[in-house]
Amino acid sequence: MGDTVAKALARACHVLESLQAGVPVEKTVWGSPAGKKRLAKRLVAMLPAHKTYVDPFAGSAAVLFAKEPSDVEAINDADTEIADAYRLLQKLTPAGLAKLKKLPWTGDEKTFKSLFDAKPKGDVERLHRFLYLTHFSYGKLRGRSFSPNGAGVEAKTLARIEQFAPRLKRVKVYGGEYEKVVRKYDGKDTVFFLDPPYPGYNVDVGEGDFDEERFYGVLKSLKGRWLMTYGIRGKLPGLLKDSGFLVKRIRTPRTIAAMRGVGGSSVLTQLLVSNYQPAEKSLEGGDDFAVDDWQPEESPNTASFLATKPLLKGVEPDDERYVLGVVLEPETVDAQGDLYSAAEIRQAAHRFMEEFGGLGLMHQMRVNGQVKVLESYLAPVDFALGEVQVRKGTWLLAVRVLSDELWGRVKDGQLTGFSIGGTARRLPEASPATETPPSDTPAADTQPEAA
């Protein structure tokens, strides 16, 4: 019965996505966090004439696949597994494709876990492992977590390989540091499409290690023309303010698949930046695309949010390392002026257990294997826990600290609480009447942390 329910849920999610307003987003060969498939045709229309095209943060390479071939083309990704997958696609033979078709392509957690631990030697097997894990992992991050929405669903990856792989034939593929590739191809006839990691969104896609100030220096030094998409968080937006570059704000609807969390705006806001003036027609808005001028806000409404609650130690006398903490409390204004409803907290708590089940440390790194989640529950009534008053609807999390190093930091008072954190900008979402007003409600990819 469990398998039947899982398959039914997967089918239901698939149906819901197909009912979502707007044009469904198709992948290229694989999906990528914050990929540009939805915007690819518009972005291509913004590119100036060029002889050399370079994408140093390729990911799913949606813009490359949407444009006509140039004399010289190069893509790069810091994730060497992505670069390796592109090279394997380039040399995939008809016999290799036939072999690939015989391998499993339906979402199955057992198959997923087996492939995750596998170390295949052959090219076809390596490519299959990469594509299967990418398609069926939560968030397309190739992590250990299998996405339950994919259970029983057959991937369309093989059809996409046949559609897109031939386009890679003459493309130079690199894996590693972006600046080496940028410097190699920079010149007056070169166009760069830049979609670097977005700080403040998800440490799993690399933004925690991205040096924005160094990247800004690279932007200013380029001889070629470049078009960039970027998030509205981090240091770079502020650096761009007086740069002289063209800076626009673009907003696109979020699909159900993209809205991994709860609450928040139904609109994805990003920056569009270039060192040239794109054709005016390419900047015209539409039903699925709004563009306007942008200036960074410098006010109390622009800040990082961090809701931190104290850890309660010694609640379980027989288990010294049992630690209980409040994650979120309903209808209580925190230090940043944010307020969360009981319904929003309930959804966030449920999604956390369904899709994460792990903790991060200070919003920077995972500590799965060092901390074990024992309990996650919502207070059914008001009650007192020692000297702490707990309100109905409060989300509490209990963990056992396995790591001696982490436990030492808890005992010493260095780690004092669980927190939900990230960066939020309260930008006016003026335009279509159907847009959901901006919200700073935490999304599901915002996780409890040890603070």
- Determine contact, residues 124/99, Cβ cutoff 8 Å: yes
Residue closest to 295 by CA, chosen among 245, 338, 252:
245
Q: How far is CA 449 from the centre of its chain?
A: 18
Share of the chain residues as helix, strand and coil, in percent rounded to the nearest 5: 30, 25, 45
Pairing state between β 322-328 and 302-313: antiparallel
The token pair at 107 is 């979402």
CA-to-CA dists, residue 384 to 86, 388, 392, 396, angstroms: 57, 6, 11, 13
Domains within the chain, CATH numbers bracketed: 2-6+19-293 (3.40.50.150), 302-450 (no CATH)
pLDDT score at 40: 92
Q: What is the mean pLDDT of the chain?
A: 76
* Residue with tokens 């008809």, as numbered in its chain: 94
Q: By mean pLDDT, which of 61-65, 295-299, 443-447 is the weakest?
A: 443-447
Whether the per-residue pLDDT at 39 is higher than 60: the answer is: yes
CA-to-CA dists, residue 125 to 5, 100, 131, 167, angstroms: 31, 8, 10, 22
pLDDT score at 320: 67
Q: Is the pTM of this model over 0.85?
A: no
Confidence band of 205 (pLDDT split at 50, 70, 90): very low
pLDDT score at 347: 81
Amino acid letter, residue 410: V
Confidence band of 25 (pLDDT split at 50, 70, 90): very low
pLDDT score at 415: 67
pLDDT score at 243: 92
Confidence band of 201 (pLDDT split at 50, 70, 90): low
Q: DSSP string spanning 134-179?
A: HHHBGGGS--SPBPGGGBTPBP-HHHHHHHHGGGGTT-EEEES-HH
Whether the per-residue pLDDT at 236 is higher than 80: the answer is: yes
Whether the per-residue pLDDT at 256 is higher than 50: the answer is: no
Whether the per-residue pLDDT at 326 is higher than 70: the answer is: yes
pLDDT score at 303: 40
**157-164 and 123-136 helices, crossing angle to 10°:** 120
Residue closest to 354 by CA, chosen among 4, 1, 9, 8:
9
Confidence band of 407 (pLDDT split at 50, 70, 90): confident
Confidence band of 349 (pLDDT split at 50, 70, 90): confident
Q: Enter the DSSP assignment of 436.
A: P
Mean pLDDT value of segment 270-277: 95
pLDDT score at 67: 97
CA–CA separation, 36 and 42 (whole Å): 10
Between residues 138 and 436, the one the model is more confident about: 138
3-state secondary structure of 210: coil
Between residues 412 and 190, the one the model is more confident about: 190
pLDDT score at 352: 66
Q: By mean pLDDT, which of 159-168, 223-232, 269-278, 422-431 is the weakest?
A: 422-431
* Residue with tokens 């850890």, as numbered in its chain: 311
- Determine contact, residues 203/180, Cβ cutoff 8 Å: no
Mean pLDDT value of segment 300-323: 52
Whether the per-residue pLDDT at 250 is higher than 60: the answer is: yes
Between residues 367 and 404, the one the model is more confident about: 404
Query: In 246-289, at which residue ranges do the beta strands (DSSP E only) sit?
Result: 246-253, 267-274
